[in-house]
Amino acid sequence: MLNGALYSVAYDEMVIVKDIEVFSLCEHHLLPFFGRCHVAYIPNGKVIGLSKIPRLVDVFARRLQVQERLTVQIAETIMEKIKPQGVGVIIEARHLCMIMRGVEKQNSIAVTSHMLGEFRECEMTRSEFLRLAKEKS
């Protein structure tokens, strides 16, 4: 899916696609979870078509899933396919298994993140991503 949308570019600053709508189905309870996904990477000679990032999120979200694995799969796929300097993924989601059954907490949001390369190793890079992901558009 990504191979046809790789472009050689001399750009080495952070690229972020944020507020990607994500919908999936919890593999434990067979109930939906939904929310937003923020994806960032620092190119290393190649960039990916911007629309491919939400498509990649959808590919992994359309399966029975847990949020933690979904977060890791998105980040690791981008790292493997385009070999950037680093990748960061954050997912914020509401889980119907927590809202309508069990603890019945209507306003709880689960937040997961997975950082690779510069996003894991460099506090400034990670902080910039976290700040930009929180900012309202």
Of the candidates 38, 73, 85, 95, the residue annotated as catalytic is 95
Of the candidates 76, 97, 122, 128, the residue annotated as catalytic is 97
- Is 29 annotated in the active site? yes
- Is 67 annotated in the active site? yes
**If you search the block for the tokens 């070999």, which residue do you land on?**
83
- Is 38 annotated in the active site? no
Of the candidates 26, 65, 85, 118, the residue annotated as catalytic is 26
- Is 27 annotated in the active site? yes
- Is 114 annotated in the active site? no
Of the candidates 29, 76, 122, 128, the residue annotated as catalytic is 29
Of the candidates 27, 68, 80, 121, the residue annotated as catalytic is 27
Of the candidates 28, 68, 80, 121, the residue annotated as catalytic is 28
- Is 26 annotated in the active site? yes
Of the candidates 67, 73, 92, 118, the residue annotated as catalytic is 67
- Is 97 annotated in the active site? yes
Give catalytic residues, as residue numbers.
Answer: 26-29, 67, 95, 97
